[in-house]
Amino acid sequence: MSNPLFEKKFMLNLLKEVSGYENGTLRTTIDLVRRPSVLLTAQEPSVYVGPLRYLMIMIAYYILVNSFLVDWDEVANRHMAEYVLITGNKEDMQYAKFFSLFMGTYLTPYVLLMSFGQLIIVERKTNHLPYKTEDYAAAVFYMGGINTLFTLVYSIIFITCDFKWTAIILGGTTVFYLLGAKRLFELITIDRFFPEHGKEVKKIYNRATIIVIIITSLIIGILAVTVYR
């Protein structure tokens, strides 16, 4: 016979753990958005989740939703079918498989390759600045975690909305971004971790990001084509 009190307590503990309230993930996320530099100089680091662990937690959330709870083949085919109805080009349906593979399978290795690639380049190009490798690692991994969380939100939009509303939402956010409302979409930028030399670090980080995106996209693209064939 089930115990309602036990079930209620179990569900409450589960909710706290998943939400990050119990393990510090929620506190870390809030302070990352509000004042990210504090996480590098915290007097009580135990109140925050460590940078690499934070990245892995966000990846775990993404995998939970997009690999176990969602059939991305069905989602991708649905969106592409609606797109084909608009354009009339049936050949575009072939891209549904690539989209499904990336969102459901290859995003995790993509994020990890991106994060470690960015760290290697940033660390090598900033030797003249008064920061340690651990500081750059913390900033890069925390940003990777936040970006993964952002991607999770966008994936939920893809899952729950039809093609028309997805296009409106993504198109609208792009317009706002280009008009200068970057702060709404860049929850954190790497310069906010390093108040004294933030602009220089950000410039190097942005260049590293472009290089790593090109290399990582080629690697993931080759893997996707190999599997697709």
pLDDT digits (tens, 9 = 90+) for 46-73: 778 889 999 999 998 888 888 778 888 8
Q: Closest Cα to residue 118, out of 91, 146, 137?
A: 137
Contact predicate 178/170, CB 8 Å: no
104 or 204: which leads in pLDDT: 204
Residue 2's pLDDT is 45
Residue 228's pLDDT is 57
Compute the distance between CA of residue 119 and CA of residue 114 in angstroms, rounded to an integer: 9
